[in-house]
Structure 1
Amino acid sequence: MKSTKIQSTSSQRFFKWINYLIIIGLCLTIVLPFLNILALAFNSGADAQRGGVYFWPREWSFENFTEVFKQSDIITGFYISAFRTVLGTILSVFLTAMAAYALKSRTLPGRKSITFFVFFTMLFSGGIVPYYMVLKELHLTNTIWVYIIPLLYNVWNIMIMRTFFMQIPESIEEAARIDGCGDFKIFMKIILPMSKPVIATIALFNGVGHWNDWFSGTFYVRDQELKPLATLLQEMLTRQQAMADALLKSSSVHYEMLDKIQVTGDSLKMATIILVILPIVLIYPFIQKYFVKGVNIGSVKE
């Protein structure tokens, strides 16, 4: 009996160490590439081209970031990105939650038909050209609202919220109705406070999507002052890479010029990656605590 217990304890320890090694390996696959990006972003671009820069800069330089902020429209692009991210996320989460709450209600007339109609839009897309024509007819192109209004609803997010709301015991809503609460008051005072995990998740999805979106600014906006940060950085990176390629393909007279360049396309790319992901990295620790199981568990005994 004692021998069996010892063997069981040993196997549990072995299994635990295997889990630790797997988790450490997964963490390294995430952390090491990020450290490499940091090292290249803070390293001289000309020196980084020689190779050998992995997790620590060999020649410290802030030229990559200086080059980024030399662009006069970078600050404006930052404000545009911040505005669309904050307003777009708040509106999208609130309206998505309202739609999900309505679709989960059993008293909604035609609930199954409406749910199928909403879900059906996930299966087919009209394509970019018809989508652009719709935006143009609605006078959304070349305006800041093209970043917000078309992205207010996401069917997948509605389905996630609807599923979460359906897990909330109906007896809580019934008790609120007995106390005289209407649907909107129940939604604001009960459903939303009990749904912090799913709200945080959807808010993070929307926020990251808005902040990293460069496509809309490239194809739907012509005014340079209305382009978000991601679009401006993408355009700048494309120009910088094109200049470097042109120098490499030109005559050997320009190689001395190329050696004097401290910022390369690759080093600028790493700096832009840091600038784009930094706000999300700073905000995420304040949101991750809500990625837990719903707080409603145990609130009512059925």
Structure 2
Amino acid sequence: MIQHTLIKKRRWKAKPIGDRVFDFLIYTVLTAITLTSIYPLLHILFASVSNPNALMSHSGILLKPLGFTLDGYKLVFKDNSLLVGYKNTIIYVGLGTFINMLMTIMGAFVLSRRELYFKNFIMILITITMFFGGGLIPWFLLMKDIGLYNNMWAMILPTALSTWNIIILRTSFQGLPVELEEAATIDGASQANILFRVILPLSKATLAVIFLFYLVGNWNAWFNAMVLLRDRELFPLQLLMREILVANDATATTIGSAGGVVIDSAESSTAFRELVKYCAIVVSTLPILLVYPFLQKYFVKGVYVGSIKG
């Protein structure tokens, strides 16, 4: 370790003064960007465990918790609607991401076949959907007519396939050596065997990136729920979060005597409602933050591989 540090110092001293200044500026800018990105997370975390009355009276930057209390989390987990929303979101994310990956893999595999007739024409039709749509009202009427209104599938089927992701994955499949498929065909492999035993194992990086795109998109989805769902028992977590954070719906959280927390004034009720907002943000964001570190290493490699060829 010491030898490694000495080598770094020698390399630093061997650099021209211009390169040193440039490196210093780069590290300074990157440090500032890192702090700018991390601070909002720390602010929300500190606020979620702060004393609600002290938090309401505080203004400016928050560098540490103002006292310490878990009453906000008690209220969040005491509220049944948020727990139901959590359950619904897990169902939508799990089933939705599975269908997303299945549809994207099948579509990309078909479009990557060199012998596919009218491939360019089909790609043009698919690409057009990225830029043009029928509009919100026709889309809503269509969803209602085909039975995707106020039921679980309204959160899954309308977003079953992303044009952007299928293009990335198709390009990744096309970048694989054709000799591998030819060798598998000579050995008697079917198209399904080629897909699952040759192509997918060699495309893990791109698949991981697309999987994370779908996972985060499904976790954060709220617009389709707002338009297509009317039964609160079907609401995902993010739609309830919208009520808490944007609409400021006082009925979205239970403010009263819960989990040993007794609120005895309108001022305290407002303070606790503000505290619950921060706690709900932490609860809804934590699962995705836990997934990112395990998949982020695939990001650059996966997107790069999927963009080599047009």
Under a length normalisation based on structure 1, what TM-score does the superposition of the two structures give? Answer: 0.85
* Equivalent of 1:90 in 98, 111, 117: 98
Report deviation, 1:116: 0.6
The partner residue of 1:62 within 67, 70, 94 is 70
- The answer as to whether partners of 2:56 and 2:271 remain within 8 angstroms in 1 is no
Deviations 1:119-178 (A, max 9, x none): 111111111111111111111111101111111111111111112122111111111111
> For residue 219 of structure 2, what is the aligned residue in structure 1?
211
Judge conservation of contact 1:212–1:276 (CA < 8 Å) in 2: no
Give the Cα–Cα distance (whole angstroms) in 2 for the partners of residues 67 and 95 of structure 1.
Answer: 40
Distance 2:57 2:249 in 1: 17
Q: Secondary structure at the match of 1:293?
A: helix
Deviation of the 1:265 alpha carbon: 4.6
CA offset at residue 95 of structure 1?
A: 1.3
Instruction: Please say if 1:258 is aligned against 2:266.
Output: yes
Identity of aligned residues (%): 33
Q: Which runs of 5+ in 1 are unaligned?
A: 1-5, 244-255, 298-302
Q: 2:50 aligns with which of 37, 43, 49?
A: 43
Letter in 1 for 2:66: R
Partners in 2 of 1:222 and 1:85 — Cα distance? Answer: 19
Choose from 147, 162, 186 the match for 1:178.
Answer: 186
Deviation readout 1:253-274 (Å, 9 max, x if unpaired): xxx9333337345433222221
Map of 1:223 onto structure 2: 231
2:295 is the alignment partner of 1:287: yes
What is the deviation of 1:8?
4.4
Separation in 1, partners of 2:153, 2:268: 43
Task: Indicate whether 1:151 and 2:150 are aligned.
Answer: no
Measure, in 1, the Cα distance between the counterparts of 2:140 and 2:188: 47
Which residue matches 2:79?
71
Label 1:47 to 1:119 Cα distance change in 2 as closer, same or farther (>3 A): same
The C-alpha deviation readout for 1:197-240, integer Å capped at 9, x for no partner, is 11111111111111111222222111221111111232244565
AA aligned to 1:278 is L
Q: 1:267 aligns with which of 267, 275, 283?
A: 275
Give the residue type in structure 2 aligned to 1:21. Answer: T
Unpaired stretches in structure 2, ≥5 consecutive residues:
1-12, 252-263, 306-310
Query: How many pairs are equivalent?
Result: 279
1:119 aligns with 2:127: yes
Change (3 A) 1:80 1:144: same
1:184 Cα deviation from its structure 2 partner:
1.5
| Residue 133 (1) aligns with residue 141 (2) | yes
